[in-house]
Structure 1
């Protein structure tokens, strides 16, 4: 990020506080909801009408280019970091090299001509072209995907803008015809969300499986698994062994009879002290113990490691740490209490 962009970011964060479903939040916090107050002049939260207009341009170009909502959130967060959602021209001595526009793209690096890069529609389309060319970008944390496009000197700086970007996309998508459900943006940050789409194929402690301490959600092999809520990673482990106690690799499929254990799994502790556990991942998870994650962060991929008959996510919810059988509760009920229907099609 450039020095002059820092000045615009400082300006951007001045104003009314970000409002979330659960209350007030500072810009450096983790979102617990997905709404911002709007003003009569077209502003949203701390952002004025000009900034909201640029966010709307970015989302519109994303919709027209068939870029998923996650990509639109990444693009808006990147523009917040690089320019404060201002379409910056050449600022003379304050300019960082030849950086221009919403994304601070440089003509000398092949992004386009100066005239093109100060055209918000062109700049957004150029950003998306690069983003979608990156293998696996949809499974990357936002800051990793943004950095893969931008190659910034501050590779970790994008992450803090994710909650605001989500809220802005949520608002402006609601104003656009044909943009899809704005709640898709909210599902990427703030509150709680379903970790994977799919039907529940085995319930919590049913009569046929009284020792089943979670629910099984059907999903294709390789489907990204998202953190159901913001929190900290407290465990990343391989738990797989044969019935005689011999170790079994978590990097290959398990078996519903001969192999026991959760396979590759992750546990997250959330601010309300609940713990979520995600089992049977395809390979070693994408996160490490001690890492902070936001809701929607991709933590791994659906697989069939451990005690498993085929690809699915085994999801558990616990009311405390350590997560044990005694504090396991029905995920359907816990998620419903947080406004998420795990049984929805």
Structure 2
């Protein structure tokens, strides 16, 4: 079979190098301009947490994002190999995101002058670095198996941010590039496996993440308590988040891996005079009190308001899913202790960028109770 092609259902699907814009980079990473890392996740209406049934790679695979038939097939192969090797769904998300960055899920052979050294296949593995022979690496099942084999050697890989886990396998010159594919990889796993990216980290498909657990998509509820005031209700149409009914002193956790992009006190009298965030606020005080914003992959930003004291993180700090970031209080515009939690898309932290946190977190296997 010629390099850069894959046999499926008795026919050969070949890649055409000129059909994809690519720029050669070093250490096995190719940068492509083929599809976006910002999928329409909210269009996916699934409620399950995966199935234990083996994926049928030669069956009709449902559409997801703008992946074509070949890309969906390669994603299915990666999942199937993960199932065969008893890798939990978190590993499938990591592997697919890695292959998206390395090859946009195309099984590329040698690209001549455009090739980065001797990098080949879905994961751009190099024969000269001991990944296998060229023929082996161009077998998607083999290359996925080698990826999982290396991933399993990394201590605590399931709870690592996707970028770190992928980088420890790939040793890329662009270690932060993998994160942007996590949302699309999550969607792919959910669509092809009836929601397995919502399984708990460390669990098999079908085992949903409970509140406080991290899901295979890399998300977790920031607190245990449920919603006591919803998103943009008839009574509060400008309420751009949800209120979670946590008592004073409850630890607040980062909902996913990311970078702290804002940490500040935001409280004032209605006339504009400054008000302390180190004392209780009230409905007559303006602002979010002590609060934090975290920027995640694909331009998602989460906001955590009304903390009792200055948060335990600083701007520029990298955090992991479930990491403590502050303590519930009632600073700023607040009638009592609770966590006000917002989710924004496209790096837009204004009201126009807000989305329903309940629906967003449900899709990612980290439901907000209530």
The residue aligned with 2:32 is: 9
Matching of residue 19 in structure 1 with residue 44 in structure 2: no
- Cα–Cα, structure 1 residues 229 and 173, in superposed 2: closer, same or farther, change >3 Å? same
CA distance in 2, matches of 1:80, 1:121: 16
- Cα–Cα, structure 1 residues 165 and 234, in superposed 2: closer, same or farther, change >3 Å? same
Q: CA deviation at 1:143?
A: 1.1
Q: 2:316 aligns with which of 274, 290, 294?
A: 290
CA distance in 1, matches of 2:294, 2:65: 30
Q: CA deviation at 1:82?
A: 0.4
- Cα–Cα, structure 1 residues 60 and 276, in superposed 2: closer, same or farther, change >3 Å? farther
- Cα–Cα, structure 1 residues 12 and 343, in superposed 2: closer, same or farther, change >3 Å? closer
- Cα–Cα, structure 1 residues 229 and 150, in superposed 2: closer, same or farther, change >3 Å? closer
The residue aligned with 2:304 is: 275
Q: CA deviation at 1:124?
A: 0.8
Match of 1:275, SS?
Answer: strand
- Cα–Cα, structure 1 residues 78 and 153, in superposed 2: closer, same or farther, change >3 Å? same
Q: 2:247 aligns with which of 205, 209, 212?
A: 212
Map Cα deviations across residues 4-41 of structure 1 (whole Å, 9 max, x no partner): 88877212349xx8323279xxxxxxxxxxxxxxxx98
- Cα–Cα, structure 1 residues 233 and 10, in superposed 2: closer, same or farther, change >3 Å? closer
Is the CA contact (8 Å cut-off) linking 2:131 and 2:146 kept in structure 1? Answer: yes
Match of 2:97, SS?
Answer: helix
CA distance in 2, matches of 1:8, 1:333: 35
CA distance in 2, matches of 1:276, 1:64: 44
The residue aligned with 1:99 is: 119
CA distance in 2, matches of 1:92, 1:269: 42
The residue aligned with 1:146 is: 166
The residue aligned with 1:56 is: 76
- Cα–Cα, structure 1 residues 66 and 228, in superposed 2: closer, same or farther, change >3 Å? same
Q: 2:221 aligns with which of 171, 180, 194?
A: 194
CA distance in 2, matches of 1:20, 1:342: 18
Map Cα deviations across residues 50-79 of structure 1 (whole Å, 9 max, x no partner): 101111111121122222222211111110
| TM-score w.r.t. length of structure 2 | 0.54
**Number of aligned residues:** 258
Map Cα deviations across residues 236-285 of structure 1 (whole Å, 9 max, x no partner): 9xxxxxxxxxxxxxxxxxxxxxxxxxxxxx94468788416899xxxxx8
> Where in structure 2 are there 5+ consecutive unaligned residues?
1-21, 45-59, 229-244, 265-290, 344-355
Match of 2:141, SS?
Answer: helix
- Cα–Cα, structure 1 residues 155 and 174, in superposed 2: closer, same or farther, change >3 Å? same
